[in-house]
Structure 1
């Protein structure tokens, strides 16, 4: 079964684990660079699957963007609301829909370790379609996930999948995050690289690409391994970019 983020203490345990291992070491810097958040862009940034809100607050503090942070779990949103930020707006998502956002109103979007939690590829496509709807033409969408080719490989702070096991698309896959606070066990699903890529393509994104950085990479913190811990998939909403947009192709 998928991880129940509304179960007793689930959100608290996730926040404690993320803080203990320094969540930026999970590859989030790759996302910020891919979205070129250093440059002003018209419109807010969408954080789809914001969890307890650390990423949204970091983007607001570091880059000065307004952030629309959304999640399916009320317990996660409660965690985020406990640390309010003047540039962060919180919303709950149901059925992958963003009815509170009009078409083409978001400058950039990110979704980190959300697609790997989906038991069905169709949900990944539905999320991608809704993100494309709200992105302005030329806006970028960045999806960060654990790298499927490294299933079963022990990293310094986490392991997804069991050593020696061969996974098929959609198979349930346990992820363990280990910190000084203890071990957090999550229920994820195995999806090959091409599934992540095709979800964005089917949703209508263009210029879809994948990156699989291998440590030592400055965005991957303290890892020292020949295996790629994470996969970054990016796509562009079709149509002409806004004048002066640094992402103009």
Structure 2
């Protein structure tokens, strides 16, 4: 097991993130993000921004599945370097500097997705800053789809992650150690922050969003949307007992 880190920063952090398996996310997370976007007809001719794209794997998948023009954005130049080398279906990559996506104008996006970014942020003000920048990118009425873990599921070992320690209760913003399974079967430990999903609606409304809804995908639902080989690869006992991922969807207010 590696040393515990604070963020996916630098070349080493980017390589570590790229080696994460993310099986639980590919079962209960990313397919439902894409389903939520497809429900808004985000496809050919539409612009989708992946805010916090990391090494680009999800952005690349979204571009291929949805057919949209996908733009990746991340605070890490090293992550973007990895993404440019491997996620070839993504149209462009942009660095986030001082809280702003470089070279993208106001209202340029038909949709934004943001997957597992907020747990790295230490304060509600930082969350609000991300939501405000995402609202800037979106045209009025456009959808924003957010994928997060639920710290209320602390201590349960899922197929590819464990949030916090058994028996612990985390207040909003508390530091929490998250374990993520690598493709070689070992575990990567990272210090993140616990943000209950109930925190997001009020912050989203302050940032200029409306019509906030939440959905917690289940394994039974995943049978229809996730990769069949992945679904059949293991019993998903913990995921069935207590699904740990939540999709929050909102719309940019006029």
Would the aligned equivalents of 2:52 and 2:117 in 1 still touch at CA under 8 Å?
A: yes
What displacement does 1:41 show? 6.4
Contact 1:111 1:143 (C-alpha < 8 Å) held by counterparts: yes
CA contact (8 A) 1:68 1:90 kept: yes
Cα pair distance change 1:8/1:65, threshold 3 Å: closer
1:196 is matched with 200
**Alpha-carbon distance in 1 for matches of 2:87, 2:114:** 20
Say which SS state the counterpart of residue 208 (structure 1) adopts.
strand
Q: 1:210 — aligned with what?
A: 214
Partner residue in 2 for 1:71: 74
**The structure with more helix, counted as a fraction of residues:** 2
Match of 2:27 among 17, 25, 28: 25
> For residue 56 of structure 2, what is the aligned residue in structure 1?
53
The answer on whether the counterparts of 2:7 and 2:190 sit within 8 Å (CA) in structure 1 is: no
- Residue 35 of structure 1 corresponds to 37
Change over 3 Å in CA distance of 1:39–1:180 after alignment to 2: closer
With over 3 angstroms needed to count, the CA separation of the structure-2 counterparts of 1:196 and 1:41, relative to structure 1, is farther
Q: Does 1:235 align with 2:250?
A: yes
Contact 2:64/2:89, CA 8 A, preserved across alignment:
no
Question: How many residue pairs are counted as aligned between the two chains?
Answer: 238
- Which of residues 165, 177, 180 in structure 2 aligns to 1:177? 180
Cα offset for 1:26? Answer: 5.0
**Partners of 1:99 and 1:75 in 2: CA distance:** 16
- Residue of structure 2 in register with 1:245 after alignment: none
Distance 2:70 2:11 in 1: 28
Contact 2:174 2:194 in 1 (8 A): yes
| CA 1:216–1:106: 2 relative to 1, 3 Å | same
Gaps of 5+ in 2: none
8 Å contact from structure 2 (residues 213, 249) kept in 1: yes
Normalised by the length of structure 2, the TM-score is: 0.85
Structure 1 segments, 4+ long, off by >4 Å, are: 219-222
Q: Which residue of 1 aligns with 2:158?
A: 155
Equivalence for 1:89: 92
Q: Return the alpha-carbon distance in structure 1 between the equivalents of residues 11 and 138 of structure 2.
A: 35
Conserved 8 A contact 2:150-2:195: no
User: Which residue does the alignment assign to 1:128?
Assistant: 131
Alpha carbons 1:214, 1:226 under 8 Å: kept: no
Which stretch of structure 1 is more off in the superposition, 96-105 or 203-212?
Answer: 96-105
1:197 Cα offset (Å): 2.1
Consecutive unaligned residues of structure 1, counting only runs of 5 or more, are 240-249
